[in-house]
Chains A and B, each alone.
Chain A
Amino acid sequence: MPLIESLWAMLGGATEGLPPWIEFFTFSSINVIHVVLGCSLLGASAGAIGCFSFLRKRSLIGDALAHAALPGVCVAFMLTGTKNPLYFLLGAGASCWLGAVSVDAIVRYTRCKEDSALGMVLSVFFGVGILLLTYIQKTGDAAQSGLDHYLFGKAASLVESDVKLIAVVSLGVLGALVLAYKELKVISFDPDFAGAIGLPRRLVELMLATMIVLSVAIGLQAVGVVLMAALLVTPAAAARYWTDRLNIMLMLAAGIGAFSGFFGAYVSYLSPKMPTGPWIVVAVTSLFLASLMFAPRRGVLSRLMRHYRFRKKTARENVLRTLYLFGERADNWEQGYLLNEILHHRLMSTLELRRALYRLERNGLIVETPDHRFALTAAGVHAAARITRLHRLWELYLTRKLEIAPDHVHDDAEEIEHIITPELEKRLIADLGGPQWDPHEKHIPPVGGVA
């Protein structure tokens, strides 16, 4: 691609040849194209199909089925005596499929749970496979060497026919997914409902299993057993953090899978000693960790932020309420109070209090007098009265409606006063008949005013 070369020259790069990390993007080597296409398509189809097993809480089915392929590969070799990838694919597909059916049968007909079914299918099928493999090896067939490498995968050695196979199967899987989207969606979220509206539930489940089997069977050769399991689990888990909608989740997971495949191919191009499969997994797990941390709403940081903001808000509201109590006691709403006086009444750190006061002042709810006292403004009195009202309404509600003793309600009200919404406040006032006094004989500030 001359465009990239001229761009590189414009940037002042060396004239003789491109550095490898750029040369990759010219896709001049046919081998690069094969590996990139194979890995990306594989990542996309496995990522998308993995969403369904994720939603059915069977994420590890990829792991189980990938192991279950071994006996099929061995039998295919024993029957044909050649290492033709197509026969291997058929053998692997058949025994994966048998594994998937076994998992379903165990869950349906015995009382064993899904994780047990997966663990048993994985280990027993693989055990049978190893038994067959060693049997083949002992018979001393010269062609058998490297049979087990089929399971560990070697993406860098993908040739054109492999890529064609991967392309056909993964595009087929993606196509089937688009066509049967609605049915698969219903099955994943509510299988009983699917049965009730007359969907052929077993047939759809079988189709889903077949799609997973196909993805596993083509993926084994490229990335190996364990890493194939990752491609089915991790993109879906990452995508789930960003959205609650299945169609978006599917596209995200496919994109994450495809990018990771691309990245793995890139790394092993730059450093041919590096295996492609593990780098695909490192890429996909990094994307997962980024999603886990930074996704809005469901991500860890976002949840920590919400928690932090809530604590700040609680601190501010506590300060307001303390000042309200002072004002109520002195029957004077203009008077200011020292930092220590507030701290004496309300257990919080000085730093926390200063921050709360700073924010309250900026919001115009509090003024600082020249002698470093803090007093409520008119708006501040209004806000403080609201918090106090909520606190006292809740205390009254607990004593009157739930018949809790008045000396047991304060702690609960202390928490709930920060949560009650205006709608809930109206309901409380209406239900309690517009009350004037709380259980401790304190006045409940009316809406829009003070005592």
Chain B
Amino acid sequence: MNGQYLSGLAEFLWGIPMAVLHADASGWWIMLIGALVSSACSLIGCFLVLRRLSMLGDAISHAVLPGIVIAFLWSGSRDILPMLLGAGALGLLTAFMTDVLNRQGKLQTDAAIGVTFTWLFAIGVILLSKFASNVDIDLDCVLYGEILYAPFDTVLWGESDLGPRAVWVLAGVTLANAIFVVLGWKQLKVCAFDPGLAQSIGINVALWHYLLMGFTSISTVASFESVGAILVVAMLTVPANTAYLLTERLSHMIFIAIGVGIASSVGGYGLATVLDGSIAGAMATVSGLFFVMAALFSPRHGVVAGFIRRRRELTLEDAQS
């Protein structure tokens, strides 16, 4: 009985790398899209984690709903550009409202985020049921946005097929994020670790905050349109936190986070293929497993290492007394 389960489990686990190795063209596109999303999100996510704004990705991905609905009503089509613009505007509005409530309204950050995005989301749902109930923008689409279909939405240039549109969009966003992080490295770093110091050495903290927010909302909007909100939220927080447990250097943290993100995309694809389930959900699941591993076994910050350290200190104390 037990052996049967074990061999079943082994077969299941063996199936994951096999699924990856035997992936067809669209499978590789999906993994590439996942890798691009996780790179774009990790670049920004590390700074969000350090500034304790991890929930902002989740907030923005919900709060853009009214922007999408308004853009849809305005343009009367499901063209991607107006929707991206509408969503981007609402993303910035979320960051701005949160900041105003926090500063002018003297409301703590977490509550400011919560009040803002739930309100905007509610307005989005109301607009949707008032004006657009007979058209097909369903909430599932906004929340899950299936990565499975992303490879089939391709860019055509004349006669030739240039590959999935999502790949182009996300490669652009990843590149933009990378340039932003490289150019603003010093300022972002100081703002993340010590805003007080940043202020005193003449860095415009508010400006860099808003730039970071702007890139967060662009990344969020561009990503969830093709892969779904939940994967964006996962990729903004989980790889960055995994990396945070493994290193003390910001530059290493970013590279580790990107690595964890890419590994989660590949592993998630395999898992989803074996289970025949949602790919985005599986990618989020695998990234969660990476975090659990890091939390348990990180050499410096892991639970196991901490346990061993305490045991050793205890025996040393025993020896001394």
Report which A residues bind B (CB closer than 8 A). 54, 57-60, 62-63, 106, 109-116, 118-120, 122-124, 126-135, 138, 148, 152, 226-227, 229-230, 232-234, 236-237, 240, 273-275, 277-279, 281-282, 285, 288, 292, 298, 300
A-B contact pairs, 26 of them (CB 8 A): A60-B113, A111-B244, A111-B301, A115-B52, A116-B52, A116-B244, A119-B55, A120-B237, A122-B233, A123-B58, A124-B234, A124-B284, A127-B230, A129-B281, A130-B281, A131-B278, A134-B281, A138-B276, A138-B277, A230-B114, A230-B122, A233-B111, A234-B114, A274-B129, A275-B129, A278-B122
B residues within 8 A CB of A63?
Answer: 55, 58, 114, 118
Partner of A274, one of B49, B126, B245: B126
Does B241 reach chain A (CB closer than 8 Å)? Answer: yes
Q: Known contacts being A115-B110, A129-B281, is A273 close to B238, with CB within 8 Å? A: no
CB-CB under 8 A for A112 and B110, given A123-B284, A237-B115: no
CB distance from B148 to the nearest CB of A (A): 10
Residues of B within 8 A of A113 (CB): 49, 52, 54
B281 touches A127 (CB 8 A): yes
Q: How large is the interface on B (under 10, 10 to 19, 20 to 34, 35 or more residues)?
A: 35 or more
Taking a contact as CB atoms under 8 Å apart, the answer to whether B140 and A148 are in contact is yes
Chain B residues whose C-beta falls within 8 Å of the C-beta of A281 in the assembled complex: 118-119, 121-122
B contacts, CB < 8 Å to A: 49, 52-55, 57-58, 62, 101, 104-108, 110-111, 113-115, 117-119, 121-123, 125-126, 129-130, 133, 139-140, 144, 230-231, 233-234, 236-238, 240-241, 244-245, 271-272, 275-278, 280-285, 287-288, 291, 295, 301, 303, 306
Dominant secondary structure of chain A at its interface with chain B: helix
- Shortest distance in angstroms between A289's beta carbon and chain B's nearest beta carbon? 9
Question: Are B284 and A126 in touch, CB under 8 angstroms?
Answer: yes
Q: Pick the most buried of A63, A127, A227: most chain B CB atoms within 10 A of its CB.
A: A127
Closest Cβ of chain B to A269, distance in Å, is: 15
- What's the Cα separation between A133 and B276 when bound, in Å? 11
Which residues on the A side are within 8 Å of B144 (C-beta)? 130
Contact B285 A127 (CB under 8 A): yes
Residue of A nearest to B303 (CB): A109
Report A-chain residues with C-beta under 8 Å of the C-beta of B52: 113-116
Known: A59-B108, A131-B275, A131-B285. A277 touches B122 (CB 8 A): yes
Residue pair B118, A226 in contact (C-beta under 8 Å)? yes
Q: Are B122 and A59 in contact (CB under 8 A)?
A: no
User: When A and B form their complex, what is the total count of cross-chain residue pairs whose Cβ atoms lie within 8 Å?
Assistant: 204
Q: What residue in chain A is nearest B307 (Cβ atoms)?
A: A109
Distance between Cα atoms of A27 and B241 in the complex (Å): 52
Cβ contacts under 8 Å, B140 to chain A: 148
Given A59-B108, A122-B58: A110 touches B118 (CB 8 Å cut-off): no
Q: How far is the CA of A123 from the CA of B242 in the complex (A)?
A: 14
B114 adjacent to A60 (CB under 8 Å): yes
CA distance A282 to B52 in the complex (A): 27
Given A110-B301, A119-B237, A281-B122: A292 and B110 within 8 A (CB)? no
Given contacts A123-B233, A274-B126, A282-B123, contact A110 B295 (CB under 8 A): yes
